[in-house]
Structure 1
Amino acid sequence: MLLVDDLIVTGNNPKMFEDFKRAMTKEFEILDIGIMSYYLGIEVKQRDDGIFISQEGYAKEFIKKFDIKNCKLVGAPVECGIKPHMNQDGEKVNPTLFKNLVGSLRISKRILCYIKGTINYGILFAFADDFKLVGYCDSD
């Protein structure tokens, strides 16, 4: 890995990478940090199946700071099926009241429990020979 003023450069062609690094060194003061393990709050784990990035350390600090070690784990930051633009009777919600609700402790606590429940989540950039781009979207 090569760090250039908060820029990461990486590649799978060692010769091209070294040529690029030499060219950059001629123009800029650079710091070669080797294999990256942490960058701007993101942990980078080099694994046999690929590169895994997450914010596990940050989430653990967050949990400790707000003392939520014993909360019930949840898999989503908000309750499923809630329609914030309507109240229980199907009437439109007052936008000011809704903004107050979003800032309430109940919602905040659920988000904290979500962080704790998803602490090991991250993104795996898997090594593959077929190079297919796959994306997922939550329709909600």
Structure 2
Amino acid sequence: MGLKQAPRAWLTKDELAHGFSKLMQAEFEMSMIGELTHFLGLQICQQDSGIFLSQSKYAKNLVKKFGLESTSSVRTPIRPNVKLTVDLLGKNVDPSLYRSMIGSLLYLTASKPNISYSVGVCTRY
């Protein structure tokens, strides 16, 4: 009586990747052209040391879209203990433009968690 070989309980990385690819192609319209470099506005850099995400192109487009090219950047937009108040002498802001800016910034926090607090504070207004 011969011994039967037990079925493999594990798959190689290539087999898993191929299976995932087939599953996604069956569910969504897509093609496998090569290494993933962009996805939903994220720039993706795959290296031996890991996978790195960036939204630098998206951020540059935001600066251009909202006409902020001539402004200077700051390392930390808002200190955590700062309280925002109404500026009665300031000029009114277009609400839809403001919502558009905040929505765009919320998407940017996917790769820039350092702005999450500042964007969160601005979402209250």
Give the structure-1-normalised TM-score: 0.43
Q: Is the radius of gyration larger for structure 1 or structure 2?
A: 2
Give the structure-2-normalised TM-score: 0.47
Q: Higher relative CO (CA 8 A, sep ≥ 6), structure 1 or 2?
A: 1
